[in-house]
Amino acid sequence: MAGEQQVQAEGGSNEQELQRKMEKLVADFDEEVDKPELRHQQELSELFGILRVKNGVVSQLPQDMKDQLAALLPEIDAALKQCVPSQEEAAPGKKTTKMKKAAALNMADCIPCKPKTHEDDDASPSSVVAPLLKRTRDILGDSPAPAAAARAEEDVLYEWTTSYVDEERLYGWDEEAKDVADGLAGPEDGGDDDEAPLFRAAGIFGIHGSGKTALAQKVFIHDRIKDTFPLRLWVCVGPSEHEDRFNLLYRMLDNLGLDTYKVEEVVNNSEAVKKHADAGNHAAAEESKIGVLLFILHATLAKTSYLIVFDDIRAYSDWYTNLLLPPPTDGEWTERLAYGLPKVKKSAVLITCRKEEHARKMVRTGRVFHPPPLRGSEAWMLFEREYVVEARKKWQGRGEYSKEDDRLYEELEGMQKEIVGKCLGLPVAIVEAAKGFALLDIEDDKTRPRAATAKPIDDADAGEA
């Protein structure tokens, strides 16, 4: 009895220590998150967002997952320190050898499928952050805690998408991904047609949760895309409250390996900006900065063939219109994002948005796609994955969960056609339905006896007393 009490006391102490370490990591991240020089901010924000809202579930984890979490937290701490620049790097106007190496590593991070050497795999901050994010999800899950879900709408954080793709979590749409890839790279049997366009654009549209980002991710890792475009870049644009053209362009340049402090110096000292600033027209000077940033982006991308994915463009405006436009021969480049996208080598842009009309305005003559509903086995694989994840959480502390012994799942499996049909094939509806069923409060749903199978009654049996 005393031994059991000692084990329980040690377990409680370990849980409290894990929670304290998680709280400290989140506090350390909060001190750095608003710094523009913080590298890989999107992945880090998602990772630390999970640590923030899942702190309270540590006590519910089985011991082996607690051990995994204990081993993971020091690695997260080391990754955060690696992504925070030193004081020397943060000082404007200087670019040391160390900074140049960091810029090169940063470029490899934001183009994760870019060919790299084996040495780069171990040195790159991106090769650290993305796997840590996956391991954190595996241990703690990636859905918000119930308390977080109940917060006011204005407090809900936007979940930034990234180029990191877990192929095991993508179901269906193989043919659709091939069609989009052909729309960007040109058909496979196109040959060396001199009249083929050097620059292509395609769009994916659909309502929230229809699978736009998932389809774009499948295209991003498609073999045709990897073979055609040496440089690939994923840019999450985000909702209207996050719409910031300066931030968008600086993120792109930072991802391409440029020193953003040096870029800012060039922008501020450019003739176009100084002309307006000297005249006291600060609004025009700020606008001119956009044009200079687009010029720098154009010069950087012109060196190679590229694919850029602009994901989740919600704050549509004329600035995004007609991405096929070339830059003007004279005047400023402020008015269009298209001016920063060179068309001198075989390159492409893929956008995702919610409205078809916006997609067509952005890609003009390019092809526009809509993710078809998930059906059949692929839809049920998504349902099953999310159901099992939630069911395991529900049964933590009450024994090991087994799908084979889950009577509720057995009944749902027999209704899979109806369930998928009610969800209209929408991935987000399938996911939420799975989580809802898994959290149903059914007493002893694992041990509830299977429904008895009635013995068929034949005519001879029917006549017996």
Closest CA to 225 of 284, 172, 279, 163: 163
CATH fold of the domain at 158-369: Rossmann fold (3.40.50)
How buried is 34 (Cβ within 10 angstroms: 0-12 exposed, 13-18 middle, 19+ buried)?
exposed
CA 220 to centroid of chain Cα atoms:
12
Which residues touch 153 (CB under 8 Å, ≥6 apart)? none
Residue 455's CB: how many other CB atoms inside 10 A? Answer: 7
How buried is 45 (Cβ within 10 angstroms: 0-12 exposed, 13-18 middle, 19+ buried)?
middle
Residue 373 is encoded by which pair of tokens?
A: 């509903």
Lookup result for tokens 């704050």: 315
Quick one: pLDDT at residue 65? 82
Tell me the C-alpha distance between 435 and 424, whole Å.
Answer: 17
Quick one: pLDDT at residue 82? 86
Which residues touch 15 (CB under 8 Å, ≥6 apart)? 58, 59, 66
Tell me the C-alpha distance between 236 and 352, whole Å.
Answer: 10
**For residue 311, what is the enclosing H or E element?**
strand 306-313
Closest CA to 68 of 163, 132, 139: 139
Residue 422 is encoded by which pair of tokens?
A: 């009610």
Domain ranges of the chain: 8-140, 158-369, 376-438
DSSP 246-297: HHHHHHHHHHTT--HHHHHHHHHTSHHHHHHHHTT-HHHHHHHHHHHHHHHH
One digit per residue, the tens of pLDDT, for the chain of length 465 reads 444 444 333 444 477 788 888 888 888 888 787 766 778 777 888 888 888 877 777 777 778 888 888 999 999 988 888 888 766 555 544 444 444 444 443 333 343 333 333 333 333 444 568 888 888 888 887 544 343 343 333 344 556 666 666 666 677 788 999 999 999 998 776 555 556 678 999 999 998 888 899 999 999 999 999 999 999 999 988 776 666 888 899 999 998 999 988 999 999 999 989 988 888 888 888 889 999 999 999 999 998 999 999 999 988 889 999 999 999 988 889 899 999 999 988 999 999 999 999 999 999 989 999 999 888 888 899 999 889 888 888 877 777 788 888 888 889 988 988 998 888 888 889 989 998 898 886 654 444 444 433 334 344 343 333
Q: What is the pTM of this model?
A: 0.61
